[in-house]
Structure formats: structure tokens, C-alpha cells
Structure 1
Amino acid sequence: NWMRLSADYRRAVPAMALAEMGAVPSAVAGQLVGQPDLRARVKMHDSAWGWNVGLIYELTPATRIGLSYRSKIKIKAHGHTDLTGGVQVNLGAGPMPINVAESANANATVKLPDTAIFSVTHQLDDQWQLLADVSWTGWSSIKSLDITNDTLPGDSLALRFRDAWRVALGANYRYNQQWTFRGGVAWDQTPIRNAEYRPTSLPDNDRYWVSLGAQYRFSPNATVDVGYSHLFLNKARINYGDPKKGTIRGKYKDSADIIGVQFSYQF
């Protein structure tokens, strides 16, 4: 399978970064404390190939089990970093503004995780079908997000993701030849280990899914599917610290709603 990564990452950069860049003399670096942050924007993209494998085994005419695996995908993304902003320093002749508008080539390597899924389907009767699956995702392949720039300081975000599990149960109800209704619930484990490794850009936590959907069949070849999911996320605490960026402590309370529509035609 082919995967494309396109990222647009923005963050504030402490004014002290100007001293690391040599944009201000080291003798006045202390004057940068408390000054407005600079603004950094990183845009990167790339694509790579992976592979999938799977099998289905029929235990009985009504029950089937399946097993599938998707490989890791290593993406070497490239793009550019733009750094803008301004500060004032006193070099002895009064305050002097220093404006920054720098651009640099940026690179990052990301190892997207592999995934394994075990599933079971059971046909109760002509109308009811039960479904269940357990999936594992190897998020531990992502230790950190490291961005290198050729003429600007790089950036690193410590993540230390852990492998995560997901368990889902569902059912399909065939009302008639045209209509099929669906419903399901799921528990989805976050790859974030704890509050110390929960960045502000990813305030994720374990979540519970409740989903409803329906399919309408126009003909033997054409169908349209509509689905809705609500995600209940556990409250997330953050205590993320970095020697250069400081420490952030707080709490997050999140939820999400997902709506999907799909049209299918079989040739």
C-alpha cells in the first residue's frame, strides 16, 4: 500500500533562539529573556510504500475468522522551515530592533507503525450479523519527532509512544432488500504513556466509540453508506517538560464527532 505524509506544523520559539543562531551578540543574550516569541512554521511532505497480508478462515457456514497485518512504513519527509518575528536589544546606543525572516531546508524521518487485526463474524440468521475485532498497533516505533534544518536550529519532540490495543463489538441488521442498519462500540487505547509524555499538540487519551450507521442499496451494484461516531475521551493531564521550552501543566477534556458518507459501485 502507498502512504503519503503531508504536515504543516507551527509553534512559538523562545527569543533566546536568536542567541543560538548568532543573530545577536552573546553579551546581550540576557536581554532576550521575556521578549516576544518568534514564530516557526514547518511544511513537509513525502510518500512511501508498505505491504499488507491477510487471511480468512471459515469455521462454520455461519462463522468466519480473519487475520490481517500491515507493515511499518518509513517516510523521509522533506520541506522547509520559516522563522519570523522581532525583538529589541540595547547595544549601548539605545534600543535596536532585530527582525527575523529566515527560511531553511527541513528534514524528518517518521516510522509509521505496523498493525495486526484479528476479527470474527457470525451470521445469527437472515437478518442479524455479529462482529468483533481486536487490533494491535506498534506505536512504539515512534520514539520522538526530530526535525533538522540546514541553516536553523533543529527541533525535537520526545514522545516515547507505547504499543496500543483496540477492541470493538458491532452488529448489522438487514431490515429488507434495500436497508441495512449498523451499530457498534469500541475501546481505543492511546499510545501516550503518561502526563510527562503528553505534548500540547497531542492531548490524547483512551477513548470509547459509539457508532451508528445505515446502508441503502439502490441496485445489486450500487450502495450508499452513512455513519456517525461519537468519541468519549478520558480526561487527560499534561505535565510536559523540556529544558529549552519550559514545563506545561494542565488538564484537557475532549470529545469528537465523526460523520462519514460513502458511495460504492461494483463492476
Structure 2
Amino acid sequence: MHNKFNKLTWAVAVAAAAFASQANAGGYQINEQSVSGQGYGHAGRSSNVNDATIVFGNPAGMSFLDRAQLTAGGTYLNVSTDINNASATRNGVPVHTDGTAEGDIVPGTLVPFAFYAHPVNQQLAFGFGVYAPFGSKTDYEDTFVGRNLGNYTELRVISAQPTVSYRFNDQWAVGAGITYNRVEGELHRQVPAPILGFRQDLNGIGPVGTEELDARVQGDDDGWGYNLGVIFQPMPETTIGLTYRSKVSYTLEGDYHARQDNGEIYVNPVTGQRQERDAQLDLTTPETINLSVTQQMSDRLKLMAGASWTRWNRFDEIRVVDPNDPGGDPITLEQQDYTNAWAYALGGEYQLNPQLALRAGVTLDFTPTSDQFRSARIPSDDRRIFSVGAGWSPTDDLTLDFAYSYLSERSTHVDQLRRDAGGLITSTYTADYKNEAHGFGAQLTYRF
């Protein structure tokens, strides 16, 4: 183990977390910013103005609200993972014969949000939102058979967005928001390391075997981005919305350490290096574009369709530098080969009576990952999401929204390997994965 090792470990896991896949969107992008939108599969994300969550969906939509309102809520994600045919090797030899692959690697998670929108007059509106645009967590058991390649990954991105919109006339409105984004990442893996002892063939002290270290890395940073939106109503029954969300660039800075079972920092017996130091990784979350159409079919029924595109091809490889050696060459750690990805949604809303609206939608979400580079940290593939929901307004000032989504992911295969600095394969892991998820959402909107 040497200085390149900790950069490799940290960069692969944190960067993978930032660009992988979440419970119901391609990549590591989170869709849980609106429960009313969840009910119709977010099909009208940029065009359907229901409440203050339009601050995220399309900032131009705020100027279509008739009064100030506050919307807050969250979605609880319950993810289930089934793992089969799992095996691993180290230096070409099968290992972890007593290892396990229990599945259910994603803990239940609540994704909250809050938005406020304030129309100043018929043209101008201001708003503010706090939400999570990216994030995930995978947590394998301690005896996981593939633990040498990663057994814990967590990424959290929180965004705060002040927003303004202006409506030119009955047909056109524009909006813009600036986003402040905070990212935190953490990862663990069990690292094989040499054990120092007496070797008769060397007539002295040397490495006589290996042990597993608990290697952990943490890092954080903040960055700025922006959102832009346009709404066009060619006729009162038809609304077309377009939203652009910018990329955000980060430089995650943190620390790395590897500990033995007794809790002591490990010192490599070959190099004498203490495995505790700084680490750094440049990271860019991708820009996205959403286009949607909302059509009022009758006084009670409206239908929605939408498409989203994410520029995942920014994540072609992981490249790191030594923060203590700024003039050194960057190290390409792992090829990712992500491709740009699309998601498509269809949905509808039926106003059963003045108090109750019923919703349903379906989403097809295509993964940006490739079969060649899929990892145990992010074992995801293409998804189908089915959603239902309802909005209940006991008074003109108050609306309670509820939604349920079922995600079914295509079965996928992980065939992962790790190389040392010289390019030799040191660890491998293969397994078959099947993921599904349930999302339960609730939100409250109060109008002033």
C-alpha cells in the first residue's frame, strides 16, 4: 500500500456515489421534490402548476399561482435488493468462502423538501426552496463477500434555491433560480494489507500474510449552480414547460484512514507509511433538461407527458490529484463510460369533486451505466415506475397530498474488478442483482 492507494479507494467510491443511481431516477439524481407530482409520475414536472413545488419543477410557473403558499413534505423510500450467485477472488484465488450476500443494501430513507412561492402581482413572483437533488446510501453487512471492493457508500447533496419569475402576458413566462449546493460523501471498504512477521526463507522480518483493514474516507464541499425555466400557453387548455438545471462543480476535500481491528491506524510494514492522510477529488454533477406538456381535456381531467435528458457523459472517468503535490500528474483511477440518459413519463389527474383530485402515472427511466463498469456500490439498471396519488383540499387554504410509487428494475449483473498501480488484477466480484422500491409520499400546502 502506498500513496496512490488511498486516492484510488476514495475517488472510486465517492465519485461512483455521485454518479450512480438512486431509488427512482437515472444516475444518482433524486426526483423526490414534489408529492403532488409524484402522484402522476412527474409527467408534468415543468408544465403543471399545482403548488409551491413548481419552484423546483419550473421557476417560471410561480407567476401562474394566484397567491402566496408554502409546501412542505417528503417521500419515504423503501428499497429491496436480491443478490444471487455472488463470488469474489483476491489475487486470482477464491476468497470469503464464508462470506455473505444478504441483499437489502439500501436503508429506508426519508427525502424531505420545502418550498415557498410569493406572487407580488400578476407578473412578478419570488420563491425559495430547500431540497435534495442528488443522494444515495448503500450499506452491506460486515461479512459481505465483496467487501474488498466496497461495503458502504453514502452521498448527500442539499440545495437551497432563491427564485424569481416574470409573466410577460397570458402566454409567456420565464423564471430563474440560483442554487447553493452542499455535498458530503463517505465510504468504507475492507482493504487487504500485509501482516508483518518472521520469515525463515528471508532469515528476518517480512510480510507473512494479509489482514483486512477498515478503510474509510470522508469529504465535503459546496458549489453554485442555477435553474432556468420557460412556460408557454398557446391556448388556455395547453401548457408547455421547459426547464434547464445547470451542472455544479465540486472539489471534495477530506481525509482517509485505515484502521486495524484494535482501532489503531495501520502502518504498512513494507513502506513504513502510516495510512492516514488527506484526499481530494474533483466532481461535477450533470446538467439536466426537462420538457413537459399539460393538456386540460375537460373541466375535470387533464393529461401530462414529459421527457428528461441528463448529460451523464461528463462522467467518463475518475481523475484525482494529490492535494499535497499540486504539480504531480493526475491519476486516472477507473473508467466509467457513462452515457447521456433519458426518462419519459405519462400521467393524468382527475378532479373527482372540488375537494378531491386523483392521480396516476408511469415513468420509464433509463440507466446511464454500462454493463462493463457496473459496480457493487451502484448495482442498478433500467427502471419502470408506477405511481398513484391524491390531493385533498378540505378548505381553499389547505391541501394535503399523498402518493405511492412502485419501482421495478431490470435484473442486472455486476462483474467488477480492481487493479493495483501496476495494472494487475487484485480483487474481483461478480453477482446477479434484482432491485425494487416502494415510495410513500405526503405533503402539505398552505395558501396565505
- The question of a shared fold, defined as TM-score above 0.5 by the shorter chain, is answered with yes
Q: What is the alpha-carbon distance in structure 2 between the residues aligned to residue 59 and residue 17 of structure 1?
A: 73
**Residues 188 and 16 (structure 1 numbering): CA distance in 2 closer, same or farther, change over 3 Å?**
farther
Q: Output the amino acid matched with 1:14.
A: P
Q: Output the amino acid matched with 1:262.
A: Q
Structure 1's unaligned 5+ residue stretches are 19-26, 88-95
SS at match of 1:140: helix
Q: What is the alpha-carbon distance in structure 2 between the residues aligned to residue 145 and residue 217 of structure 1?
A: 49
SS at match of 2:260: strand
Q: Is residue 2:444 matched to residue 1:263?
A: yes
Q: 1:230 aligns with which of 381, 391, 406?
A: 406
Q: What is the alpha-carbon distance in structure 2 between the residues aligned to residue 113 and residue 127 of structure 1?
A: 38
Deviations along 1:103-157, one digit per CA (max 9) or x if unpaired, are 3222211100000111011001111110110000011112234566668xx9944
Aligned 8 A contact 1:136 1:165 in 2: yes
Give the structure-1-normalised TM-score. 0.82
Q: How do 1:51-130 residues align onto structure 2 when only pairs under 5 Å count?
A: 51-85=226-260, 102-130=275-303
Q: Output the amino acid matched with 1:187.
A: L
Q: What is the alpha-carbon distance in structure 2 between the residues aligned to residue 220 and residue 140 of structure 1?
A: 46
Partner of 1:206: 382
**Residues 49 and 218 (structure 1 numbering): CA distance in 2 closer, same or farther, change over 3 Å?**
farther
Q: Is residue 2:391 matched to residue 1:218?
A: no
Q: Give the C-alpha shift of residue 198 in structure 1.
A: 0.3
SS at match of 1:133: strand
Structure 2's unaligned 5+ residue stretches are 1-178, 197-204, 263-268, 325-330, 421-425
SS at match of 2:206: helix
SS at match of 1:28: strand
Q: Is residue 2:176 matched to residue 1:2?
A: no
Q: What is the alpha-carbon distance in structure 2 between the residues aligned to residue 28 and residue 155 of structure 1?
A: 31
Q: Is residue 2:316 matched to residue 1:143?
A: yes
Segments of 4+ moved more than 6 angstroms: none
Q: Is residue 2:214 matched to residue 1:36?
A: no
Tell me how large the CA RMSD over aligned residues is.
Answer: 2.7
Q: Give the C-alpha shift of residue 266 in structure 1.
A: 2.8
Partner of 1:250: 431
Q: What is the alpha-carbon distance in structure 2 between the residues aligned to residue 261 and residue 3 of structure 1?
A: 24
Aligned 8 A contact 1:146 1:156 in 2: yes
Give the structure-2-normalised TM-score. 0.50
**Residues 237 and 122 (structure 1 numbering): CA distance in 2 closer, same or farther, change over 3 Å?**
same
Q: How do 1:143-182 residues align onto structure 2 when only pairs under 5 Å count?
A: 143-146=316-319, 156-182=333-359
Q: Output the amino acid matched with 2:340.
A: D
Q: Give the C-alpha shift of residue 56 in structure 1.
A: 1.1
Q: Output the amino acid matched with 1:127.
A: R
How many equivalent residue pairs?
243
Query: RCO (CA 8 Å, sep 6+): is it higher in 1 or 2?
Result: 2
Q: What is the alpha-carbon distance in structure 2 between the residues aligned to residue 76 and residue 17 of structure 1?
A: 35
Q: Give the C-alpha shift of residue 261 in structure 1.
A: 1.3
Q: Give the C-alpha shift of residue 259 in structure 1.
A: 1.3
Q: Give the C-alpha shift of residue 64 in structure 1.
A: 1.4
Bigger proportion of residues as strand: 1
Q: What is the alpha-carbon distance in structure 1 between the residues aligned to residue 282 and residue 216 of structure 2?
A: 18
Partner of 1:91: none
